[in-house]
Amino acid sequence: MPVARLARTSDLPSLLSLFDVSEVSAVAQPRERAESIWRETLAQQGVSVFVSDDRGRIAATCMLVTAPNLLRGGRRHGFLENVVTRPDSRGQGHGKAVVQAALEHAWAAECHHVLMQSGRADSRVHAFYERLGFRPGLRLAYVATRPTTPIG
What pLDDT score does 152 carry?
63
| Contact criterion met (CB below 8 Å) for 2 and 92 | yes
What pLDDT score does 9 carry?
97
Residue closest to 134 by CA, chosen among 111, 117, 151: 117
What pLDDT score does 45 carry?
96
List the chain pLDDT tens, one digit each, 152 residues: 899 999 999 999 999 999 999 878 888 999 999 999 999 999 999 999 999 999 999 999 999 999 999 999 999 999 999 999 999 999 999 999 999 999 999 999 999 999 999 888 889 999 999 999 999 989 888 889 889 877 66
Length of the chain equals 152
**H helices present in the chain, as ranges:** 12-20, 31-43, 94-108, 123-131
Other CB atoms within a 10 A radius of the CB of residue 151 amount to 5
Q: Quick one: 4-131 is in which CATH superfamily?
A: Gcn5-related N-acetyltransferase (GNAT) (3.40.630.30)
